[in-house]
Amino acid sequence: MLEFVQLSAANREEGWGVAVKLLEDRIRQDGQVLGADVLKVDSFLNHQIDPDLMAALGTEFYQRFKDVPITKILTVESSGIAPALAAGMAFHKPVVFARKHKSLTLKDHLYTAEVYSFTKKTANTIAIATKFLGPDDHVLIIDDFLANGQAVEGLIDIIAQAQAHLEGVGVVIEKSFQKGRALLDQRHIHVEALARIAAFENGQVIFKED
Amino acid sequence: MLEFVQLSAANREEGWGVAVKLLEDRIRQDGQVLGADVLKVDSFLNHQIDPDLMAALGTEFYQRFKDVPITKILTVESSGIAPALAAGMAFHKPVVFARKHKSLTLKDHLYTAEVYSFTKKTANTIAIATKFLGPDDHVLIIDDFLANGQAVEGLIDIIAQAQAHLEGVGVVIEKSFQKGRALLDQRHIHVEALARIAAFENGQVIFKED
């Protein structure tokens, strides 16, 4: 990891971190484009996980948000847990993951929000115990994907209920052609996406040029 | 982390790693005993996660299984992901997490097993894509809890379907008074539990003396 951090610092002047290069190469090599807007990355990100890549991504999130006073990292189960934990290890700050429920009748001591999944075409309630988020918290949201932004919106809703401060949103892969990023930009939220996908063309991933 | 590893090696002669001490102290301090057999550790293990503790636990799993030729680490979503990823980072080997489903109609390209949860009194199907586990794999199962052993049994079933080799089971917390550990011992499976709980007495945790 030390070698990685040094390399990353050196390459930052060229405009990208080593982690971003690793991630984009991996997406090109192992990602599967399905239909018009689905990218399957289950061989290294959200079913099988490459822990070394994940550690590199965690360090990259730290590089991008290290000047912000983060007290807590927030994500949603299950796919968000690995990148959030990797970031938490780099920040040395607690990670809280919201749990998904089909429905919740008992909401005592919980912050809850409704999240619609366009992929699965179902709505879930996400919930976090109130004791783990409060007005003194400065929160970094981490997730694997930013597409339509529903999960992030749910977490922002919960952060508002807790009267905590949202400091930024870090995602591993952003599908820039879907509405999630634009919605966050409109609200002047600091978003860092490690890989930004402009489009899928003939089954190939076209990355956004920064 | 380097300091931790050195300390751990030094203390190993006294019969415990630093990670075990950290974990037991944390369970004593922040664990909540509920009823006869439930230990709530959602402030550092399975809702809010302490990433530094998790990294230490990952290193401890590595210390205990490093002489075994592990190719893959296997767990179940969601609570297993964090300790499995931490172990994966120490082994530099891929982590695969089984997904839970209420029911599955389409089982193409999946290994599946039924898992009953005594805590939630519900049955789930757990599933892993067949492409991520095969006859060449030597598998370490990692989970947060070992109680009745249902989740581990489900993963062992899947490992058998894949004709992969089970090399061992590592759990963060074992409730030794429930049947899971005994079932694995009967089958001569190499089990390492970082904290072993002998009993709950008057709301206090009594650790098993090794």
Quick: pLDDT tens for B93-126: 999 999 998 877 778 999 999 999 887 888 999 9
Query: With contact defined as beta carbons under 8 Å apart, do A197 and A25 qualify?
Result: no
Nearest CA in chain A to B94: A50
Residue B209 Ramachandran class (φ > 0 left, ψ -120 to 50 alpha, else beta) = beta
- Annotated binding residue at A11? no
Q: What share of chain A is helix, strand, coil (3-state, %, to 5)?
A: 35, 35, 30
Shortest Cα–Cα distance, A42 to chain B (Å): 9
Q: Is B184 on the interface with A (CB under 8 A)?
A: no
In this predicted model, what pLDDT tens digit does every residue of A154-198 receive, in sequence order? Answer: 999 999 999 999 999 999 999 999 999 999 999 999 999 999 999
How high is the pLDDT of residue A15? Answer: 44
- Nearest-5° Cα angle at A110, A109 to A112: 155
Closest to A89 measured CA to CA, from B172, B96, B90, B147: B90
Between CA A43 and CA B127, with CA B86 as vertex, the angle to 5 degrees is 40
Q: Please name the residue that has the structure tokens 């794999």.
A: B137
Tens of pLDDT, residue by residue over B149-159, are: 999 999 999 99
CA-CA distances (angstroms) from residue B166 to B137, B163, B190, B195, B196? 8, 9, 9, 22, 22
Query: What distance in Å separates the CA atoms of residue B143 and residue B42, rounded to the nearest whole number?
Result: 15
Residue A92 with chain B: CB contacts under 8 Å: 51-52
Question: In angstroms, rounded to a whole number, what is the distance separating the alpha carbons of residues B210 and B207?
Answer: 9
Q: What is the dihedral of CA A152, A156, A161, A167, to 10 degrees?
A: 140
Q: Does B52 touch chain A (CB under 8 A)?
A: yes
Nearest CA to B56 among B105, B81, B90?
Answer: B90
Q: How far is B130 from chain A, CA to nearest CA, in Å?
A: 11
DSSP H or E stretch at residue B188: none
pLDDT of residue A210: 61
User: What does the pLDDT average to over A113-127?
Assistant: 90
**Residue A48 annotated in ligand binding:** no
Task: Choose the closest CB to A97 out of B78, B86, B93.
Answer: B78
Å from A33 to nearest chain B CA?
17
Taking only the tens place, the pLDDT of each residue in B161-208 is 999 999 999 999 999 999 999 999 999 999 999 999 999 999 999 999
CA distance A205 to A2: 31
Q: What are phi and psi of B166, to 5 degrees?
A: -85, 120
Domains and CATH numbers, chain A: 2-96+131-207 (3.40.50.2020)
Query: Chain B residues with CB inside 8 Å of A132's CB?
Result: 43, 47-48
- The vertex-A161 CA angle with B38 and A132, nearest 5°, equals 35
